[in-house]
Structure 1
């Protein structure tokens, strides 16, 4: 772990500082390659913002996280979350995946309650049925969607107005706007026009029925940044707050996401007292070291 490669192996423009433990995990799936991948770099306190951003761009995953020592009382660890384009204050699957790696890396797998420090503040995490779960953050924007915006989004998704049951802002940071559709088939049949969708970050959800022959209660899809996200913790958190508030969703359910992409994401949602917890399996795929 502490052996440093000779300078001859690296171009002059790279400053080799340290070898870091590195993990890549699959979040929201008990099967490798069926969830949402996440790269995690441990003991990253010595890395600069530029180094973190460059490595996250290189992995080309939706998110890469860096584990650091906490800077505030009450936190067990600190995480910084980067996309290939920049840093995020909070995201769902990076929170669960980072917690899983931190617990294993530090031999704390028996802990049941963890506090993560991130750009959005302190996030409570608990272990529920062997799965990490985060407490859904409060919505920054909620309420109905204006008719013009709804028409634009529906047209970009190719969704007929007759298939839309309701629409609401479910923004807990990324800017989510969510549509409740009538059937699971309505969700799975969407073929988005990303150019027409523009800057909107859109989630769609529909209840599953016995006719769907699936073991989950809801089907979701997430369209953001000109692509479809396989499994999305922040969207599921916002949708849960909305649907439970409407009385559409029970206080405990399982959602599936990523079906169209060939994934098998499963999100476990539970309301306890005033908190809604978003949980998912985390499966290790790659473990090793990286020089940054």
Structure 2
């Protein structure tokens, strides 16, 4: 077994979201996968395995410090990058197919950028009054800046507060504590410049700490599905995320003529091939 460290969605070297990718994880138990994820301390760590679906190129299990996720965005792009860098050869010519908890996810290459097809939302509805009030409280936003509050679950149970401006997003002051499994995010439009939307995302970890994620592919995918489906954006747009964490993430969101939505960004190897003797 070997461990790669990958930087995903960065606008510059080591300005994205960190990911640990373990190759050859067939012999690892669920407990060992979780323990390594917690020890590394990244928002997620992934474990590459042979596919069980003949249509898939590889299979990945995605862990965060409180357990396993059926899908996550930056782990999808970072795992695909690590799989390709290790010599992986996709079955098809046009896309790479990842098998994970939600099923098959298509990934395509555009130069150095990888993009995944945004999965369908498993829950898509306005938040009720109590849910909206709780989300506003936890995220520490001005209630008057909230334009809408929507459930955009797509594996993680994301709830979106769309705010009236990027400044309102950056001014948010989230609470320190929230239960594990709390997944909340903010999106606000940017006036002018090369970036169209400002994003922040928060999650409750296994210790009840409400952590801010540097760059979040699954949340951006849910936001993109919502914005495209409601006609709030057309064509392509670019989102920034992570500035309040010291990161500087750049997410490319686009919609094809057939309606498929793609979430893309760069992935770069920081370290590769580290042995994991404790797990052999």
- The question of a shared fold, defined as TM-score above 0.5 by the shorter chain, is answered with yes
For the Cα contact (< 8 Å) 1:116–1:123, is it kept in 2?
A: yes
Q: 1:280 aligns with which of 262, 265, 272?
A: 265
The 5-angstrom pairing of residues 114-263 of structure 1 reads: 114-195=96-177, 200-210=182-192, 214-225=193-204, 226-263=210-247
Deviation at 1:249, TM superposition (A): 1.6
**DSSP 3-state at the match of 1:156:** helix
Deviation per residue, 1:145-169 (Å, 9 max, x gap): 1112212221333322221111211
Instruction: Choose 43-52 or 97-106, whichever is displaced more.
Output: 43-52
Q: Corresponding residue for 1:48?
A: 29
> Is the CA contact 1:30–1:282 (under 8 Å) kept in the aligned structure 2?
no
- The separation in 1 between residues aligned to 2:223 and 2:59, in whole angstroms, is 26
1:47 Cα deviation (Å)?
A: 2.2
Who is 1:74 aligned against? 55
With structure 1 as the length reference, what TM-score do the two structures score?
A: 0.87
State the distance in 2 between where 1:53 and 1:196 align. 20
Runs of 5+ unmatched residues, structure 2: 205-209
1:82-101 to 2 correspondences below 5 Å: 82-101=63-82
What per-residue deviation string (whole Å, max 9, x for no partner) do you get for residues 161-182 of structure 1? 2211112111112111101111
Q: Give the distance between the partners of 2:2 and 2:11, measured in 1 at CA.
A: 23
Long gaps (5+) in structure 1 = 1-19
Q: Secondary structure at the match of 1:195?
A: coil
How many aligned positions are there? 270
Measured on the aligned residues, the alpha-carbon RMSD in Å equals 1.9
